[in-house]
Amino acid sequence: MNRNQVRPQRRHATPSRIERVRRQAVPKPRVIIALLLLLGLVSVMLLDGYLRAEVGNDQRVRSDASASKVPDSVLDGGPFLSFQGGTARTRSVPDKTIVLTFDDGPDPEWTQKVLDILDDNDVPGTFFLVGSMISRYPDVVRRMVDDGNEVGVHTFTHVDLSYQSAARVTREIAQTQLALAGAAGITTTLFRAPYSSTNDAIDNYSWPVYKKLGAMGYTSVFIDTDSEDWQQPGVSKIIKWATPKSGKGASVLFHDAGGNRAQTLEALPQYIKKMKSKGYTFTTVSGAQQQAQGQQGQGQQAQGQQAQGQQTQAPQGTPGTADNTLQSNPEQAAHRTADTATLWEGRALLGAVAVAEWTVPGLAAVLAVVGVAVLGRFAMMLVLARRHYRRRNRRRFSWGPSVTEPVSVIVPAYNEKECIANTLNSLAASTHPIEIVVVDDGSTDGTAEIAESLGLPNVRVIRQPNAGKPAALNNGVRHARYDIVVMMDGDTVFEPDTVQRLVQPFGDPEVGAVAGNAKVGNRTTMIGAWQHIEYVMGFNLDRRMYDLLRCMPTIPGAIGAFRRDAVLGVGGMSEDTLAEDTDITIALHRAGWRVVYAEHARAWTEAPASLGQLWRQRYRWSYGTMQALWKHRKSVTDRGPSGRFGRVGMPLVVLFQIVTPVFAPLIDVFTVYAMIFVDFKASLLAWLAVLLVQLVCAGYAFRLDRERYRYLLMLPLQQIAYRQLMYLVLIHSCVTAATGGRLRWQKLKRTGEVGTPAPGTGVR
C-alpha cells in the first residue's frame, strides 16, 4: 500500500455522477482567489515594465530618411509648428527672448532642483514630460504647474513615433494626457516628439505624425538652440552652446532627467544671469507665441489673430477637453482643465502605478532574499553531503555492534493487486532474517488472496476493515514479533540487502528510526525521469544534510525502520495529519530519539505515472507536511532533541520546503519580465547560471548515489515544466491551508511495472 489511502463512503452518502460533474464545473472560491491574485500580479508587472519604457523601440529607428514631402517653410521655419485649416504654420521666438525647454522629466531629484533654480531666478520653463514618469512622480508635476511653468507631452514611453502605427501614436498621447490629468488636473496642447530637436529632424516618416497631431490641435515644439547638456561637455560649453547669436530669440533645450544632470544644474543659474545681463527675458512657449502673434499684425487683424490664438481648440480626441478656457496665467495658455471623467481616470492610473511602484520592487527584494537563500541551501547541501559521505564511508565508521537479529517488515496494503506480488517476492530474497506482516486494509481487489497464494515463508496476512494507512501500520506494529520494525509501501520493492543495511544504525542505542534511500523504479518515461532527478537530488541530498544536523524531518513511507518501543512510546502512527511519516518522525525527535539516514539501503517505488496522479500525491504531501509542522509547533520552545528540531529542523523545512518554493515561481516570472523589459541577454545568462548551480548539485548527488548521468539531460526541461507544477501544487496546498480546506486520502492507480531488483543491478 502506498501513502495514499481512500476510505470508502457509505452508499447513501455517495454523490451521483451528475452532482460530481456539477461540483467540478464550479470553481472553488480558493481557486478563484488564487487566479485573481495571479492575474493581478501579472497585470502589475506588465504595468511596471511598460512604465519603465523598456519595451524596446526606445531609440531612433533611422536618422537618414528623406524629407522630400516636408514643406521648406517648415524645415526652415521657426520652432513652433501648428496647423490652421490644414496648412502648416511656424512661429519663431521674438528677439531678446528665451524659452527654456526641458525634456525627459519629471525626475524626483534633478527636476526638483531645476524648479528650485527657476524659482530663485524668477523665470518660467516649459517641460516636456514623459507620461510614465508623470505617473511615477505626480507630486513633481503638481509643483511644476503650481509654480507657473508650462508642460507639454513627450509621449508615454519615450518612443520614436515616426515608425509607429496610428493607434500607437494616439495611445502614447492619450495615456500621457491621462497621467497629466491625474497629477495636476490639466491637459495640454503642446507636444514634442522624442528624438526631434530642430525642424530639420522632420522627415517623410514623421511628417504624417505631425500633420495628424496638428489636426488634433497640438502645437509641436522644436528648438533652434541646443545646450547639448546630455553629453555632459562641461559647464562652460553648455552655457556657450545655449547662447543665441546676435540678440535673436531662441527655444533652448536642456534636460531635467534621463541621466546625471549635475552639469546642467551648475550651468543653468549662470546661463540665466548671463542672458538677463544681455537684456533677454524668459517666457514659456505660450508666452513666446503670444508675443510673436502680437508682432505680426496691427490693428483689428492683429487683435483677431491674438484672440484666435487664445481660443485655439483643444486637441481632438484628447482627454479632458470639456473646459477649453485658458488658464489665468498667460504663461500657461496651453493648459486645459481636465473634465471630471478624465480627472478620475487619471487618478485611477496613478493609483495603479503607485501599487506597481510598491509591489514590484518589494517583490524583487523578497525574491533577492529567496534567491540568496536557495543558493545558500545548495552550497550547504553540497558541503554537508560531502562531509556526510566521507564520515559514513570511512573504514573505521561503525554504528556499534552489528544488528543481526530478525526484524518485522510491515506491508500495509489497500487494493495493491498489481504490486503486492513483486513487493513480497523482493522481501523473500532478503539476506537479513525477517518476518513479513501484510496488513490488508479492507482491499476489494483480492490483494490478501494474492499475498497468501504466493506461499512465501514467514508471511502473515492480517485483515482489517478499511481504516486508513496509519491504522494499518499501527495494527502491524502490534502484531510484530521483533523489536525492530521496517515499514514500506505496497508498491515498493527492496533489494536483497536493503533490510540488512537499513537496520545497522540501530547498533547505536540513541537511534530510534532510520530513513532509507527511496528510488524511482519507473523512470523510463519523461515524468518518471523528472521524479527520479527530484528523488536523487531533492530528497536524498537533503537527507544527508538533515542527518548531519540531527533534524531529519521525514522518514519516507516507502522505506523506513523504527524501534518498536519508540513507535509505541509516541502513540503510534497518528491520523491527525495526511503525512503520517513526517508526523511520526517529528514525534520521535520530540521524544528524544535520533533519526538517521542509511543511504545504501535502497527501495524502488512506483512513482505516479501521470500529471494528475502526481498533482494529487504532492498536494497531499505538501498539505500533510504543513499539518505536521503546525501540530509540533511547540517544539520551537522545547529543550533537548525536541528543541533542536524545533529551532533548526523546523525553520529549515519551513524555509526550504514552503516559503522559498512558494516564491520560487515568481523568480521565473521575474526572469521573463527582465528578459522582456530589461536586458534579455543578462537575464538569460543569470537564469543559466542558476541552472548550472543546480546541475552541479544534481551531478554530485548522482555521483553519491552512483546513478547514471544521462538522466541529467532532462534537468533543463524539468526546471521549466516540472518544477513549476510542483510550485503550483505547493501554492494550492497553502491556499487550502489558509482557507481551512481539508483533504481526503486518495488512492493512486498503480501498474506494477517496478519489478523485483536483481542483486547489485538495481531495478529491472
pLDDT digits (tens, 9 = 90+) for 221-254: 999 999 999 999 999 999 999 999 888 999 999 9
Q: How far is Cα 128 from Cα 193, in angstroms, rounded to an integer?
A: 9
**Of 246, 267, 255, 262, which Cα lies nearest the Cα of 223?**
255
Sign of CA dihedral 30, 36, 39, 41: negative
**Of 681, 696, 674, 680, which Cα lies nearest the Cα of 368?**
674
If you average pLDDT over each of 161-165, 295-299, 487-491, 676-680, which comes out highest?
A: 487-491
Band of residue 304 on the pLDDT scale cut at 50, 70, 90? very low
Catalytic residue among 48, 103, 542, 583: 103
Band of residue 121 on the pLDDT scale cut at 50, 70, 90? very high
Buried b (16+ CB within 10 A) or exposed e, 315-348: beebbbbeeeebbebebbbbbbbbbeebbebbbe
User: Which three cell numbers, joined as nine digits, stand for 101?
Assistant: 525647454
- E strands within 213-350? 219-221, 225-226, 250-255, 281-283, 335-337
Q: How far is Cα 293 from Cα 364, in angstroms, rounded to an integer?
A: 53
Q: How far is Cα 29 from Cα 31, in angstroms, rounded to an integer?
A: 5
Residue 366 is inside which H or E element, if any?
helix 340-393
Residue 91 is inside which H or E element, if any?
strand 87-91
Is the pLDDT reported for residue 202 higher than 50? yes
The pLDDT of residue 726: 81
The pLDDT of residue 2: 42
Q: How far is Cα 668 from Cα 672, in angstroms, rounded to an integer?
A: 6
Q: How far is Cα 111 from Cα 434, in angstroms, rounded to an integer?
A: 82
- The DSSP bridge partners found for residue 129 are 105, 153
The pLDDT of residue 159: 85
Count, residues in the chain: 764
Mean pLDDT of the 462-469 span? 93
- E strands within 388-458? 407-413, 434-441
Band of residue 750 on the pLDDT scale cut at 50, 70, 90? low
What is each CA distance from 361 to 46, 78, 690, in whole angstroms? 13, 44, 21
- The DSSP bridge partners found for residue 484 are 563
The pLDDT of residue 677: 72
The pLDDT of residue 307: 44
Q: What does the angle CA 498 – CA 501 – CA 506 come to, to the nearest 5 degrees?
A: 130
Cis-peptide into 106, omega within 30 deg: yes
User: Which three cell numbers, joined as nine digits, stand for 208?
Assistant: 504624417
Q: Enumerate the H helices of 11-91 as residue ranges.
A: 17-25, 29-51, 72-75
Is the pLDDT reported for residue 578 higher than 90? no
Is the pLDDT reported for residue 715 higher than 60? yes
Q: How far is Cα 342 from Cα 355, in angstroms, rounded to an integer?
A: 20
**Of 283, 321, 308, 362, which Cα lies nearest the Cα of 45?**
362
Catalytic residue among 154, 158, 229, 255: 255
CA-based radius of gyration for the chain: 37
Sign of CA dihedral 425, 429, 430, 435: positive
Q: How far is Cα 163 from Cα 136, in angstroms, rounded to an integer?
A: 26
> Among the listed ranges 53-67, 499-513, 516-530, which one has the minimum average pLDDT value?
53-67
Residues 502/430, Cβ–Cβ less than 8 Å: no
Residue with C-alpha cell 490488508?
Answer: 440
Q: Which residues contact 211 (CB under 8 A, 6 or more apart)?
A: 83, 88
What is each CA distance from 155 to 141, 174, 345, in whole angstroms? 15, 9, 18
Band of residue 443 on the pLDDT scale cut at 50, 70, 90? very high
Question: Residues 369-373: contacts with CB within 8 Å, 24+ apart?
Answer: 370/659, 370/660, 370/663, 370/664, 370/667, 371/667, 371/690, 373/655, 373/656, 373/660
User: Which three cell numbers, joined as nine digits, stand for 272?
Assistant: 540665466
Single-letter amino acid code for the residue at 197: S
Q: How far is Cα 247 from Cα 225, in angstroms, rounded to an integer?
A: 13
More confident residue, 434 or 577: 434
More confident residue, 502 or 731: 502
Residues 81/214, Cβ–Cβ less than 8 Å: yes
Mean pLDDT of the 573-600 span? 93
Can you tell me whether residue 451 is helix, strand or coil?
helix
Mean pLDDT of the 400-405 span? 94
Residues 82/220, Cβ–Cβ less than 8 Å: yes
Single-letter amino acid code for the residue at 176: T
β pairing state of 80-84 and 219-221 = antiparallel
User: Which three cell numbers, joined as nine digits, stand for 33?
Assistant: 482567489
Mean pLDDT of the 104-116 span? 95
- 415 burial (CB, 10 Å; 0-12 / 13-18 / 19+) is buried
- The DSSP bridge partners found for residue 221 are 80
Q: How far is Cα 69 from Cα 77, in angstroms, rounded to an integer?
A: 15
Mean pLDDT of the 192-208 span? 89
**Cα-to-chain-centroid distance, residue 326:** 47
The pLDDT of residue 20: 46
Write down the pTM of the prediction: 0.68
Q: How far is Cα 403 from Cα 534, in angstroms, rounded to an integer?
A: 31
The pLDDT of residue 396: 82
* Catalytic site includes residue 103: yes
User: Which three cell numbers, joined as nine digits, stand for 27?
Assistant: 470553481
User: Which three cell numbers, joined as nine digits, stand for 601?
Assistant: 539501503
* Catalytic site includes residue 154: no
> Among the listed ranges 42-46, 246-250, 262-266, 615-619, which one has the minimum average pLDDT value?
42-46
User: Which three cell numbers, joined as nine digits, stand for 472?
Assistant: 494499518
Q: How far is Cα 89 from Cα 147, in angstroms, rounded to an integer?
A: 30
Mean pLDDT of the 456-479 span? 94
User: Which three cell numbers, joined as nine digits, stand for 251?
Assistant: 527655444
- 233 burial (CB, 10 Å; 0-12 / 13-18 / 19+) is middle
Residues 257/107, Cβ–Cβ less than 8 Å: yes
Single-letter amino acid code for the residue at 478: R
If you average pLDDT over each of 281-295, 506-520, 600-614, which comes out highest?
A: 506-520
The rounded mean pLDDT for the chain is 84
Residues 551/645, Cβ–Cβ less than 8 Å: yes
What is each CA distance from 322 to 173, 476, 604, 711, in whole angstroms? 17, 83, 76, 68
* 3-state percent breakdown (helix, strand, coil) of the chain, nearest 5: 55, 15, 35
**Cα-to-chain-centroid distance, residue 308:** 55
Can you tell me whether residue 188 is helix, strand or coil?
strand
